[in-house]
């Protein structure tokens, strides 16, 4: 029976490969997931959830109101929105680092001019090709400053701030995707 199940899963994998679908059998139940962009209402909900977290302490690796880091903030907000799953190198996961959040859970955008409120900005602050921070884009003000919501270690909490020396932090832009069960 297990060989029949394995063969069936292989067939399903072949059928969905290249379609944007991912199969998760990690808990013994096979589920098919797809990724979709957030709609306008969901992006506004993302902003409202971030605003609700202002002042929450920064904690490296944290993803709860007791403390969170930058990617933990996204994980927490997504759980509040009912989207607690992420894609990471072909696997469905509950937790994800900023680098993999960008590479597997966004539609890349080429410039700041292409993103909208609620999209994500990622930073390769060391310039080594490894993303080490992410934030939720809010706006560019009349002075050209880029405002974001993020859990930032230098402020020791979740903040709404403009990013000082923005271009020096090697920003990368992405439209957020949600990973949801296929209907």
Other Cβ atoms closer than 10 A to 145: 13
The total number of structural domains that make up the chain = 1
Average pLDDT over residues 34-42: 96
Summary mean pLDDT of the chain: 88
Which pLDDT does position 20 carry in this prediction? 63
Domain extent at residue 125: 35-181
Other Cβ atoms closer than 10 A to 59: 17
- In this model, does residue 26 exceed pLDDT 80? no
d(CA 158, CA 52): 10
- In this model, does residue 7 exceed pLDDT 50? no
Q: Does any domain span residue 24?
A: no
Q: Does any domain span residue 28?
A: no
The model's confidence at residue 22, banded by pLDDT at 50, 70 and 90, is confident
- In this model, does residue 4 exceed pLDDT 70? no
Q: Does any domain span residue 30?
A: no
> What CA–CA distances, in Å, run from 44 to 49, 101, 121, 138?
9, 20, 16, 10
d(CA 141, CA 138): 9
Structure tokens at 6: 């394995």
Sequence-ordered list of residues with C-beta below 8 angstroms from that of 157, at least 6 positions apart, any chain = 54, 55, 56, 57, 58, 151
Percent of the chain at pLDDT > 90 equals: 79
CATH label of the domain that carries residue 114: 3.90.1720.10
- In this model, does residue 11 exceed pLDDT 60? no
User: Three-state DSSP class for 25?
Assistant: coil
Structure tokens at 23: 């199969």
- In this model, does residue 17 exceed pLDDT 60? no
11-25, 106-120, 147-161: lowest mean pLDDT where? 11-25
Average pLDDT over residues 39-49: 97
Which pLDDT does position 163 carry in this prediction? 97
Average pLDDT over residues 13-42: 74
Q: Does any domain span residue 128?
A: yes
d(CA 135, CA 71): 8
Q: Does any domain span residue 135?
A: yes
Q: Does any domain span residue 83?
A: yes
Which among 132, 181, 175 is positioned nearest to 40, based on CA atoms? 175
Which pLDDT does position 25 carry in this prediction? 67
Q: Does any domain span residue 7?
A: no
Which pLDDT does position 21 carry in this prediction? 75
72-117 per-position pLDDT tens digit: 999 999 999 999 999 999 899 999 999 999 999 999 999 999 999 9
What is Dmax (Cα atoms) for the chain?
66
Q: Does any domain span residue 11?
A: no
């Amino acid at each position: 029976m297990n060989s029949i199940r394995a063969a069936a899963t292989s067939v399903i994998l072949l059928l969905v490969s290249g379609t944007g679908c991912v199969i998760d059998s990690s808990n013994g139940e096979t589920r098919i997931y797809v990724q979709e962009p957030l709609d306008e209402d969901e992006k506004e909900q993302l902003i409202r959830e971030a605003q609700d977290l202002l002042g929450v302490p920064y904690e490296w690796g944290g993803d709860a109101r007791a403390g969170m880091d930058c990617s933990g903030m996204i994980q927490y907000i997504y759980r509040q929105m009912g989207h607690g799953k992420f894609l990471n190198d072909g696997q469905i996961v509950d937790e994800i680092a900023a680098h993999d959040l960008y590479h597997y859970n966004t539609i890349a955008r080429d410039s700041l001019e292409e993103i909208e409120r609620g999209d994500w900005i990622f930073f390769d602050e060391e310039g080594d090709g490894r993303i080490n921070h992410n934030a939720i884009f809010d706006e560019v003000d009349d002075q050209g400053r880029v405002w974001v919501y993020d859990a930032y270690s230098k402020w020791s909490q979740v903040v709404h701030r403009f990013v000082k020396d923005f271009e020096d932090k090697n920003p990368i832009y992405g439209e957020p995707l949600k990973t949801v069960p296929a209907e």
